[in-house]
Amino acid sequence: MGTRPLRVGNASGFYGDRFSAVREMLTDGPLDVLTGDYLAELTMLILGRDRLKDHRLGYARTFLAQMEECLGVALERGVAIVTNAGGLNPAGLADELRALADRLGLHARVAHVEGGELRHRAAELGLGTPVAANAYLGAFGIAECLRAGADIVVTGRVTDASLAVGPAIAHHGWGRGDLDPLAGATVAGHIIECGAQATGGNYPFFTELQDDGRDLTRPGFPLAEIHADGSSVITKHDGTGGAVTTGTVTAQLVYEIAGARYPGPDVTARLDTVRLAQEGPDRVRVSGVKGEEPPPDAKVIANTMTGYANDVPLVVTGLDTEAKARLAEHQIRAALAGSGPADLRFELGERPVIDAFTQQAAGTPLIVRGRDPDPRAVGRTFTAAVIGTVLSGYPGCYAAAPPGDARPDGLAIEAASIPAADVPHTAVLPDGTRTPIDPAPRTRTLLPVATPALPSPPQRGRFRRVPIGTLFGARSGDKGGDANVGIWARADDAWRWLATELTVERLGGLLPETAALPVTRHLLPNLRAVNFVVEGLLGGGAASGHRPDAQAKGLAEWLRGRYIDVPEVLLP
């Protein structure tokens, strides 16, 4: 146990993040622990497909390559590594790491955390026949491994924040009843879990950072100095790119959340109690976080293959756009009669510019999209039928890309819950000892936080019509088939206007795709933020192909680009 703050860095926000970040984080400055988050809902499907091909797989293989390059550096510097790269096979990855250390002539104490695998109970839970079904585990298994002297801890599906919370538990000696410290560390873990999104990546006011001379070519990855009371300072290594400001931290705080209560297996963090302060250059203090007992049920996500898909992108140019598209659909449906995919769609894009100056501006995409449980129904026969109409179809018909073969349609995401006491959670220590981890002894049913009193907006005066992004930052993301968009103000007057004016109904008018869907609005006054959860916007989730922006990454920027009338007194 230690009283000094624990310095936890993160080097991966997803499976496919910057490969060199592990070495950069280990060599660019001091660290106690380096974490790596490789798992998303889509990743679990990818790993599930890997495991179906070879039962020895099911983990993020990129991490092994990074360790081949950097394990010696981590051991030399005394930096513990905690990662969820184990995916669906943490024991398998742990074995591979031991074999790697032997080949490199290194002595590495490797531990892993297992449990939460529920595919064998999918039918009981009403989840069909998924390729993966996992409950989210917490941080105490990670802590047990570190207390036993592990140099590397490999986990499967734990909550993203647990990668930082576990080391803080081990370092500071927290127990189950230390709810405020656990909540504070959870918030710190949430801030750094997505890598450079906390240091200027995906930041709506990036041009301001550039105007201040900040180099965004390769933003440094974030780290959290976590104190014994759960407060933290979010920062990055000196001399690295990007920036850490209250703005970049707020942007990550409102990313992929729901309401003011942020639940996890060990604690529910109250996001409405978070306070941010710019402590110095690239240093933001996070304090005041209150914690409550976690909910009694564990979250379960099942990932199911829904079939196969294929797209053929045609282009309609010039006049008679709709008539040309109708002819194409008529001909292609006739060509595929009796052999086509179960789901065949024709998606016509935005209409072309009138009297266009360039051919590209005169064109409209027409996507011929097929989906079917059988890959043969959307394979070469499908694309041949579409391409076979080109010379006999509408004038000017051409394909914008060569035809491809069937691809996995990806992911349907089903969410369920199970009593936390029924979820196995085991820490497998470096010496092979298996230590069961008990669930939280006390729980609290998760309920929405009462809506705080709305602030009085600025006095009405002259208005000006401007893009929302002139005043407000926003960030959006996915939670299964739902989307969230958090929008925040940078000044109190603008926050008072935002909280009163941007209602669910107003959002539906600005983003018509959301108007017919269930939308819940949450206020976070300490962050001057409003968060919207839009249910069902993403259909079956990240890989379902329900909409082009399948993870709702651009939803916030669409909102920021819409024009509204705002009081001139609020404008800079």
Q: Which residues contact 349 (CB under 8 A, 6 or more apart)?
A: 364, 365, 366, 367
Q: Which residues contact 437 (CB under 8 A, 6 or more apart)?
A: 115, 138, 140, 141, 144, 425, 426, 427
d(C-alpha 541, C-alpha 59), whole Å: 21
- The type of residue at 99 is A
Please tell me the predicted confidence (pLDDT) of residue 508.
Answer: 96
Please tell me the predicted confidence (pLDDT) of residue 216.
Answer: 95
Q: Per-residue confidence at 541, pLDDT binned at 50, 70, 90? A: low
Are the C-beta atoms of residues 178 and 204 closer than 8 Å to each other? Answer: no
425 pLDDT more than 70: yes
Per domain, the residue ranges of the chain are 6-303+414-436, 307-409, 463-570
457 pLDDT more than 80: no
Please tell me the predicted confidence (pLDDT) of residue 405.
Answer: 87
Whether the CA torsion 173, 179, 185, 186 is positive or negative: it is positive
Rounded mean pLDDT, 493-514: 95
**How does DSSP assign 368-416, residue by residue?**
EEEEESSGGGGSHHHHHHHHTTTTTSSTT-EESS-----EE--EEEEEE
The two structure tokens encoding residue 127: 């989840």
Please tell me the predicted confidence (pLDDT) of residue 56.
Answer: 93
Q: Per-residue confidence at 432, pLDDT binned at 50, 70, 90? A: very high
448 pLDDT more than 70: yes
**How does DSSP assign 20-38, residue by residue?**
THHHHHHHSS--SEEEE--
- The type of residue at 176 is R
d(C-alpha 55, C-alpha 92), whole Å: 9
Are the C-beta atoms of residues 96 and 137 closer than 8 Å to each other? Answer: no
**How does DSSP assign 154-179, residue by residue?**
E-SSB-TTHHHHHHHHHHHT--TT-H
The two structure tokens encoding residue 165: 């919370």
Q: Per-residue confidence at 454, pLDDT binned at 50, 70, 90? A: confident
User: Which residue in 432, 415, 544, 532 sits closest to 483, CA to CA?
Assistant: 532
Of residues 453 and 310, the one with the higher pLDDT is: 310
Please tell me the predicted confidence (pLDDT) of residue 479.
Answer: 83
Please tell me the predicted confidence (pLDDT) of residue 540.
Answer: 64
What is the separation, in whole angstroms, between the first and last Cα of the chain?
49
pLDDT above 90 as % of the chain: 80
pLDDT tens digits for 360-414? Answer: 889 999 999 999 988 889 998 899 999 999 999 999 999 998 888 888 775 677 7
Are the C-beta atoms of residues 237 and 29 closer than 8 Å to each other? Answer: yes
d(C-alpha 324, C-alpha 320), whole Å: 6
The two structure tokens encoding residue 513: 């795709």
Please tell me the predicted confidence (pLDDT) of residue 340.
Answer: 85
Are the C-beta atoms of residues 423 and 439 closer than 8 Å to each other? Answer: yes
d(C-alpha 344, C-alpha 313), whole Å: 14
- 535, HSE (Cβ side, Cα atoms, 13 Å): 7
Q: Per-residue confidence at 103, pLDDT binned at 50, 70, 90? A: very high
Q: For 542, left (φ over 0), alpha (ψ -120 to 50), or beta?
A: alpha
pLDDT tens digits for 22-68? Answer: 999 999 999 999 999 999 887 888 898 888 889 999 999 999 999 99
pTM of the predicted model as reported, rounded to 2 decimal places: 0.91
- Homologous superfamily of 307-409: Ferrodoxin-fold anticodon-binding domain (3.30.70.380)
pLDDT tens digits for 238-256? Answer: 999 999 999 999 999 999 9
Please tell me the predicted confidence (pLDDT) of residue 187.
Answer: 98
- Tokens 């933001």 label which residue? 284
Q: Mean pLDDT, the chain, as a whole number? A: 93
pLDDT tens digits for 284-316? Answer: 999 999 999 999 999 998 888 778 889 999 999
Q: Tell me what percent of the chain is helix, strand and coil, each rounded to the nearest 5.
A: 30, 25, 40
* Bridge partners of residue 269, in order along the sequence: 262, 291
Are the C-beta atoms of residues 37 and 252 closer than 8 Å to each other? Answer: no
Segment holding 556, helix H or strand E:
helix 555-561
CB atoms within 10 A of CB 565: 11
d(C-alpha 119, C-alpha 111), whole Å: 23
Q: Per-residue confidence at 455, pLDDT binned at 50, 70, 90? A: confident
Please tell me the predicted confidence (pLDDT) of residue 459.
Answer: 67
2 pLDDT more than 60: no
